[in-house]
Amino acid sequence: QVLLQESGPGLVRPSETLSLTCTVSGYSISSGYYWGWIRQPPGKGLEWIGSVYHSGNTYYSPSLRSRVTISVDTSKNQFSLKVRSATAADTAVYYCARGNVGAGGDYWGQGTLVTVSS
């Protein structure tokens, strides 16, 4: 059974960096698939942030590319998200997910709420 679990601070100060980690169990990240971050502001829809492929290649949403970095640590079977210069608009539930081209996101984490506020 593949499980994904997000972790990180629930409160981030404006202008600081939002950092989250997704720990994967039941499947080795280095074996394949891609690993993505998606967020959902309160009461709003889903927004793709970016993805990292098992090869290490990364893809980012054009609207967030200048502030986002996604990296992978295969030794810990984790991948991480950093959003720099956070603002209130970055307040959202953040999900990590596993997917494949054309196959959708088949496993998702439970999501973690991050609030950007002073």
Can residue 3 be called a binding residue for another protein (CB under 8 A)? no
The least CB distance from residue 29 to another protein, in Å, is 17
| Alpha carbons 102 and 62: distance in angstroms, whole number | 21
Among 42, 45, 66, 118, binds another protein (CB under 8 A): 45
Can residue 59 be called a binding residue for another protein (CB under 8 A)? yes
| Alpha carbons 102 and 79: distance in angstroms, whole number | 21
Query: In Å, how far from its chain's centre is CA 65?
Result: 13
Can residue 106 be called a binding residue for another protein (CB under 8 A)? yes
The least CB distance from residue 14 to another protein, in Å, is 26
Interface region with another protein, contact rule CB under 8 A, candidates 16-24, 73-81, 84-92, 99-107: 99-107
Extended strands (E) in the chain: 3-7, 11-12, 18-25, 34-40, 47-53, 58-60, 68-73, 78-83, 92-100, 104-108, 112-116
- Residues of this chain that bind another protein (CB under 8 A): 36, 38, 45-48, 50-51, 59, 61-63, 95, 99, 101-106, 108-111
